[in-house]
Amino acid sequence: MGKIAVLHGINLQTLGRREPDIYGRVTLEAINSRLRRMGREAGVEVDCRQTNCEGEMAGWIAELDPDDFLIINPGAWTHTHYSIPDAIRAAGTPALEVHLSNIGARESFRARSVVAPACLGQICGLGAGSYYLAMNYALERMTGRAPGRTAEGVEEDE
């Protein structure tokens, strides 16, 4: 079993203080902490990283294996940076694109993602919940069971 890489793009280190009416008040560290805990509880390694350098992001993606899973929030690179989807395709790693805000309901230039076609899907507009839903999907895909469920798929507290 591979690992789950959670890669945060440009300016996401400012979460919690940057435009809280759009991005919320949760910090990147709080999101990463919860994602790591979710992975630990499922027995899956979670590697969270943030960069403001596109080349560094592409390099991290290139290090991934097809057995890994990528959750990526490219930030503003979503709309213009073709090296990110190219790196995802080259790595052969299944990926989900996430965004805190609903990119389709904001400025028109944000509505189109050049990254989405390289991913299995996109989750956006749910604040930090976008990340947590992506993590649930990744964990289920990697372990064959949903978090909080037994291997048979029955709720553990039933």
User: Known catalytic residues?
Assistant: 23, 99
Cβ contacts of 125 within 8 Å, gap of 6 or more: 99, 100, 101, 102, 103, 104, 105
Sequence-distant (6+) residues with CB within 8 A of 109 are 79
